[in-house]
Structure 1
Amino acid sequence: MIKVLADSTCDLSPELVEKYNIGIIPLYVRLGDVEYKDGINITPSELYAWSDKHGETPKTAAPSVEDIEKFLDKDSTDEYIIFTISSSMSASFNNARLAAEDLGIENRVHVIDSANLSTGIGLQVLYAAELAASDMNADDIVKELDDIRDKVRASFVIDTLVYLHRGGRCSGLAALVGGALKLHPRIAVSEGAMHPEKKYRGKDIRYVMDYVKDMESDLLSANKKRVFITHSGCDRDIVESVRDYLTSLNHFDEILETNAGAVVSSHCGPGTLGVLFIAE
């Protein structure tokens, strides 16, 4: 049997995790001296309250080698495909490889550096889960994943630069900071890292819809299977406007909505929304 695992930064909903039988390995979030597990005992709203009170970005940490080993059975014949957040952003990828080596089952464990984050990972996870359900063998699934990794289009527009600036995770962001905190940058993931692409002005729904409509030609030429709307607590009317627009394109078989987990939210902040898909 092939078991598909992913670290918690994939931001898949509990419903999708259950439907596709995916094992989720939580990362850690540290608020001061207190440590929590992403998706287990900390919510983004609690994280924002702490961050705003202390003027700090919470610290995040990869699951330990020992944490990951708990998801692997060295005495079985199962094969595992494990997805992690981009290796340039976390030690999650390296720790997963070490866990397989420590148990002596690296021949049965395929660790995938997603080179992405959030549902940019989730798109790859669902793709692998569907291939596994079709009885494709693990080596062939990994080859298929190699073919689509660079086709994943992950971007998001943020409401406030404060969290990204505090966390220092976005290269090139310094050029936007200073007197420009009212700007709403579009951040895209490429080559495993986050980069600012474009700046929007305006409030709420206006700049979010500008961001989405800028992608129309890419959306219309995307893989039809699914598109994600992933956000960190946006107003319902904004999310529904994005959904209505994507529906109006008459292109995607599935329009899925997920909420960003605590790790991703800790760097992007509240009001962040992304539309993520796979290019053809």
Structure 2
Amino acid sequence: MKIGISAESAIDLPKNLLDEYAIQTVPFTITLGDRTEFDGVITPDQIFAYVDETGKLPKTSAVNEYQFEEHFNKLLSQYDYVIHFSLSSKLSSACDNARKVASHLNGRVRIIDTRTLSTGIALLAIYARELIDKGEDIDAIVSKCEARVPHIQVSSVINNLNYLYKGGRCSALQRFGANLFKIRPQITVVDGGMASRKLYRGKDAAVVKKYCEDTLEMFSNPDKSIAFVTATNYPDEIIDMGEKLLRDFGFKKILRTTAGSTISSYCGDKTIGVFFIDDGGNK
């Protein structure tokens, strides 16, 4: 039995990791003014420059049913089954679109609402790859992946609230107060949606160090086999520090990635997060 793994471009993995874990992606669409391209063609740096110049956010469009139909049919010509890991249904209509298409494919495409984003999705997809390589059947793989969904720890500390304000995810008063007092909020994915947890003040190194320490203290039962440090436009020494804290905590494999265009459209420039599964490696 051949089982393929699929995700939208919001999985935020570079090509080398997509190839390593044999994950096939289908892209979101990004619009900057009168220019519309797929996620990956328009880059995060182009998005940041556009927002700085115009004061407007890009528009993101979910993967539509036609894209999914084409994508899934192509994969089904190579695999007996496909497991698709979708961006949280609370953040995008992509998951619902995928389900509608899969409902006409005789059970050969299974959709998992990851209730998370970015490399939080990748953690589940990589786990699925491990199970496939062990020879587990499709039902067992889907069941085991779904059981880990509530334990995905995805959070980040963002530079300011400007992108969240422009996107309607915080009030003008919240943005004003945060910018006035140079507050750096921690944004956490909770039950598939985004929520603010802690607030930080200070220079980059101090803020990121405290954020990582707080996260590891709050989510203290991680699967230490793998973690991600995912960022936008942070200098290497800051990312190095986050990686070191994870390594000192006992994580065996730490992957460094850059948030893609879809996720960057919401979090903005200078965002960093540490992601892992907080279930003690209960696989």
Deviations 1:222-274 (A, max 9, x none): 1111111000121111111111222222x111011110000100110111000
Match for residue 98 of structure 1? Answer: 100
Q: Is the 8 A contact 1:188 1:194 kept in 2?
A: yes
Asked whether 1:24 is paired with 2:25, we answer yes
Q: Is the 8 A contact 1:97 1:106 kept in 2?
A: no
Deviations 1:64-117 (A, max 9, x none): 11111222236666101011111111111111122223xx31411101111011
Code of the residue aligned with 1:180 in structure 2: it is A
Q: Is the 8 A contact 1:218 1:279 kept in 2?
A: no
- 1:252 and 1:233 map into 2 onto residues whose CA distance is 24
- 1:194 and 1:217 map into 2 onto residues whose CA distance is 20
- What residue ranges of structure 2 are gaps of 5+ in the alignment? none
User: TM-score under structure 2 normalisation?
Assistant: 0.92
- 1:261 and 1:229 map into 2 onto residues whose CA distance is 13
Q: In the alignment, which of 87, 93, 104 is matched to residue 89 of structure 2? A: 87
Q: Percent identity?
A: 36
Q: Is the 8 A contact 1:120 1:152 kept in 2?
A: yes
Q: Is the 8 A contact 2:220 2:278 kept in 1?
A: no
- 2:33 and 2:88 map into 1 onto residues whose CA distance is 25
Equivalences for 1:183-194 in 2 at 5 Å?
A: 183-194=183-194
Match for residue 162 of structure 2? Answer: 162
Deviations 1:98-145 (A, max 9, x none): 2223xx314111011110111111111111121112111111111101
Match for residue 176 of structure 2? Answer: 178
Q: Aligned pair in 2 of structure 1 residues 87, 98: CA closer, same or farther (>3 Å)?
A: same
Deviation of 1:214 after TM superposition, in Å, equals 1.1
- What residue ranges of structure 1 are gaps of 5+ in the alignment? none
User: TM-score under structure 1 normalisation?
Assistant: 0.93
Code of the residue aligned with 1:20 in structure 2: it is Y
Deviation of 1:220 after TM superposition, in Å, equals 5.0
Q: Is the 8 A contact 2:112 2:146 kept in 1?
A: no
Q: Report which stretch shifted further, 154-163 or 126-135.
A: 126-135
Match for residue 257 of structure 2? Answer: 258
Equivalences for 1:143-162 in 2 at 5 Å?
A: 143-162=143-162
Q: Is the 8 A contact 1:173 1:195 kept in 2?
A: no
- 1:97 and 1:212 map into 2 onto residues whose CA distance is 35
Equivalences for 1:9-20 in 2 at 5 Å?
A: 9-20=10-21
Deviation of 1:187 after TM superposition, in Å, equals 0.5
Deviation of 1:180 after TM superposition, in Å, equals 2.0
Code of the residue aligned with 2:245 in structure 1: it is Y
Report the secondary structure of 1:274's partner residue.
Answer: strand
Match for residue 222 of structure 1? Answer: 222
